[in-house]
Amino acid sequence: MSIKLKKINKILVANRSEIAIRIMRAATELDISTVAIYSQEDRFALHRYKADESYLVGDGKGPIEAYLDISDIIRIAIDADVDAIHPGYGFLSENPEFADQVIQSGMIFIGPTGETMRQLGSKVAARRLAVEAGVPVMPATEPLPSITEEKDQILKLAEKIGYPLMCKATWGGGGRGMRIIEKPDELLILAEQASREAAAAFGNGEIYLEKLVKNARHIEVQVMGDLYGNIVHMFERDCSLQRRHQKVVERAPAIFLDDKSRDFLCEQGLKIARAAKYQCAGTVEFLQDADNGEIYFIEVNPRIQVEHTVTDWVTGIDLVQAQIRIAAGGKIGDIKSSGVPSQKNIRLSGHAIQCRVTTEDPENNFTPDYGRLTAYRSASGFGIRLDAGTAFAGALITSHFDSLLVKVTSWAPDAESAMKRMDRALREFRIRGVTTNLRFLENLINHQKFLPADYTTSFIDKTKELFEFPERRDRASRLLNFIGNVIVNGNDEVKGHKLQTYSITPHTRKFAKKDPKDGTKQLLEKLGPEKFSNWMLDQKRVLVTDTTMRDAHQSILATRVRTQDLLSIAPSYAHCVPNMFSMECWGGATFDVAMRFLNECPWERLKALREAMPNILTQMLLRSANGVGYNNYPDNVIKFFIRQCADTGMDLFRVFDALNWVENMRTTIDAVRDNGKLCEGAICYTGDITDPEKTKYDLNYYVRVAKELKTAGVHILGIKDMAGI
């Protein structure tokens, strides 16, 4: 059989949450673009942001109905130029009409054909196929007639099989539409409940009755088929740990099976897959009577399973990537095209466990909790895999969808190590804001019967100690709890003791409330910039610039100290040190910090400081063509900015260029001179001029830059240290 490989360039994932993200990751690794869909209630869900494109589906419909809107999903796929659609699990994953419409629209459906779904998606039809294939089945009825109209007939059918019974939805999975019926007077009520639940979950309320094995293990075989008729199994998973028929913890392989039983089980799974001419990934589910070891077929799930992660790990096969490759024409046995080796080369390696972390409250009958995650810290480390949905700090958990937060999968060479690794991972989680089942899961995997798999499907319901939770020590926040307790209730250990108090009053120099003495500001106004610079050359004393308010202290001062704080000390400078040369109090990063972080006007700060220190030169840092910003600005912007600075009260402009490119500083220097202010040309120093081997930035280099600055018209030369001298 010759089938041409098709190139898939873009996949639409017709699902949500963790499985949607899982599929997108697999596609991305195959260099395939991804498209997500989301309902209005899922507009902030993580899966829509993990895709290359995302579109609202089912506008105006409910949160569940939106994901069941076949026509709108097809419309989005066509508009987005999609090559293939992956349904994930749940929603439309087992809907044959959806599969047919995808194919009729010219796209690839990543899953079994609609015909196969009709054959296997109905548990009753699948049971017929199993009988034809010679696979052991559980005694069961055909789909039940109308419960309201055919009560007597339903009671007779139940009596024929014998109580206890299991009522099951014909379509779908996940434990929905299932009820245990112990006696005749429960039958009609529970069957009606199961039918309504199935209709709400799968759009089909059809149900049937099956003989109940009370002491049963739940085992499932993973199968994979390609378009050429090749079908393989990937061994089994132990799914016996359930609550309300919903799987809680899954393991692979099932350690209670010996090689002979495992071979028999997997062969039964292959018989059904071959009889159905199965394509893509699917799961054949069985019950094993724990008392006698007999195995019975129960159903086929024609889709990827929630618990596929454990099979991924123990076989080393990426099931989702294999689905995509096979749908495009990849052949089993050709690892390059399909990612799946031949049956003889599929081997088990180690042991894997998956736990489903949910927002269910185990102390309140597992009622789902809803709200916002105020804190979320997940586990990690060797041998731990996380498949999360919308699980992050700030995420909103709603009542519209299932309560799954994250699937945690551990792997190790043996079952005990995998269990200990899972225990460690569960204890690492920190989730606040909603109740979770984490402590229940810890109790479950640490129970003495877990490791040897000494349990059945009723284990959780019958084991009360799983719900005994020791009080949490909460080491992460116990200090906060202690402080809060002391604030509210006080501390008996210090009650009645007078605490010593220490009060240190800072001593400040007193000065008369009058105009301060004249200083460098008045001298500049009298002499002008040129003569002022000559006056500086004539001075024998050191001229001091105070940098308390400058931007170089921004990390310890400027981001915390406001204009009001600076104005409180500014008059002291004017009166107590009138002979101060200048105050560097503005420009550079302080401009940005004042405006963006402190929400203050830097211009108002400059004006106020000028008034508070009328006798001392104000000084600023100016990044030449960058001004006080972080981009190059046009010349007219720089000129206007300098004029505004000068008019508002700035006297001395300390100008530099990070590369000592004097040509880049000329516009700034000229603008300062045009406004009658002092210009200090700052040379950026780096290197070591005392080292004769470092010749690039030697003394001659800095002398040359200084001469260029003097020629450009600066009044003062300065060194801006870039080397920590």
| CATH code of the domain in which 377 resides | 3.30.470.20
Q: What is the pLDDT of residue 555?
A: 55
Q: What is the pLDDT of residue 595?
A: 85
Kind of pairing, strands 179-181 and 165-169? Answer: antiparallel
pLDDT digits (tens, 9 = 90+) for 62-104: 999 999 999 999 999 999 999 999 999 999 999 999 999 999 9
- Is 551 a residue whose pLDDT tops 70? no
335 band by pLDDT with thresholds 50, 70 and 90: very high
Tell which residue, 5, 15, 111, 6, has the closest CA to residue 54: 15
- Is 233 a residue whose pLDDT tops 80? yes
Q: Give domain status of residue 298, yes or no.
A: no
In a shared domain, residues 221 and 258: yes
- Is 149 a residue whose pLDDT tops 90? no
- Among residues 10, 247, 271, 720, the one annotated as catalytic is 247
- Is 721 a residue whose pLDDT tops 90? no
Residue 286 or residue 126, greater confidence: 286
Q: Give domain status of residue 456, yes or no.
A: yes
Q: What is the pLDDT of residue 103?
A: 97
Q: Give domain status of residue 515, yes or no.
A: no
- Is 295 a residue whose pLDDT tops 80? yes
pLDDT digits (tens, 9 = 90+) for 96-123: 999 999 999 999 999 999 999 998 877 7
Q: Kindly state the helix (H) or strand (E) to which residue 443 belongs, with its residue range.
A: helix 438-446
- Is 576 a residue whose pLDDT tops 60? yes
Q: Give domain status of residue 226, yes or no.
A: yes
Q: Give domain status of residue 296, yes or no.
A: no
Q: What is the pLDDT of residue 592?
A: 81
pLDDT digits (tens, 9 = 90+) for 452-485: 999 999 999 999 999 999 877 766 677 888 888 8
- Is 32 a residue whose pLDDT tops 60? yes
CB of 54 within 8 A of CB of 33? no
CB of 253 within 8 A of CB of 352? no
Final residue belonging to a domain, choices 261, 289, 317:
289
Determine the average pLDDT of the residues in 687-697. 89
- Is 162 a residue whose pLDDT tops 90? no
Q: CA 28 to CA 10: how far, in whole Å?
A: 10
Q: Which residue has tokens 């008729």? A: 229
CB of 287 within 8 A of CB of 216? yes
CB under 8 Å to 711, separation ≥6 — which residues?
A: none
In a shared domain, residues 93 and 156: no
β-bridge mates for residue 716, sequence order = 680
In a shared domain, residues 121 and 106: no
Active site residue 50: no
- pTM given for the model: 0.66
Q: Give domain status of residue 307, yes or no.
A: no
> Sign (positive/negative) of CA torsion 273, 278, 280, 285?
negative
Mean pLDDT of all residues in the chain? 92
pLDDT digits (tens, 9 = 90+) for 508-550: 677 777 889 999 999 999 999 999 999 999 999 999 999 888 7
Across 44-53, 137-146, 188-197, 716-725, least confident range: 716-725
424 band by pLDDT with thresholds 50, 70 and 90: very high
- Going from the C-alpha of 197 to that of each of 50, 149, 169, 184, the distances in angstroms are 32, 19, 9, 21
Domain count of the fold of the chain? 4
Residue 509 or residue 5, greater confidence: 5
In a shared domain, residues 101 and 137: no
β-bridge mates for residue 232, sequence order = 224
Across 71-80, 346-355, 428-437, 565-574, least confident range: 565-574
| CATH code of the domain in which 630 resides | 3.20.20.70
Q: Helix (H, G, I), strand (E, B), or coil: what is residue 60?
A: coil
- Judged on CB neighbours under 10 Å (0-12, 13-18, 19+), 258 is exposed
In a shared domain, residues 560 and 694: yes
For residue 680, give its domain range.
520-721
CB of 221 within 8 A of CB of 269? yes
Treating both helix axes as pointing N-terminal to C-terminal, what angle do 319-327 and 308-315 enclose, rounded to 10 degrees? Answer: 90
CB of 238 within 8 A of CB of 255? yes
Determine the average pLDDT of the residues in 498-506. 72
Concatenate the DSSP letters of all residues of 466-490 into one string: GG--PPP--TTTHHHHHHHHHHHH-
